[in-house]
Amino acid sequence: MRTFYQVWDQPLFTVSDHHLIGAVIRLCGGENVFGTLAPLTPTVSVEAVLAADPEAIVASGMDEARPEWLDQWRRWPRLSAAKADNLFFIPPDIIQRHTPRLLDGAARLCEQLEQARTRRASAAEKP
């Protein structure tokens, strides 16, 4: 499951596989579309995300509310994550902070990626 983890929108940045969140993505059977980049938290462009065409986009933002900018990905209906409605949110307190609550964040990420895989399977079954 090709996954884009979005930390923030301006600037648009993510995590590489060197980050603990990259390990959580792998644990959940995901493939971080920017995992091979050298920086821990690389800045990327919208064009790079569109070219990577993730099947799931997971955002955290800065507080407990789902960030409004997550829905901006719907502007590109051909983007696999937008087309399948795989735009997910995880509160930053349970995924971005290296505390025992990271286990809750990991469980939520695994559930979300499983939901995305189920949607992919359902779409493949439709004529």
Tens-digit pLDDT profile for residues 80-95: 999 999 999 999 999 9
pLDDT of residue 32: 98
Annotate 40-70 with DSSP letters as a single string.
SS-B--HHHHHHH--SEEEE--SSSSPPGGG
Give the three-class secondary structure for 30: coil
Question: How many Cβ atoms sit within 10 Å of the Cβ of residue 39?
Answer: 13
Domains (range + CATH), the chain: 2-125 (3.40.50.1980)
Give the three-class secondary structure for 33: coil
- Identify the band that residue 127 occupies on the pLDDT scale cut at 50, 70 and 90: low
pLDDT(121) > 90: no
pLDDT(111) > 70: yes
SS3 content of the chain, % helix, strand, coil (to 5): 45, 15, 45
pLDDT of residue 20: 95
Tens-digit pLDDT profile for residues 21-73: 999 999 999 999 999 999 999 999 999 999 999 999 999 977 777 888 999 99
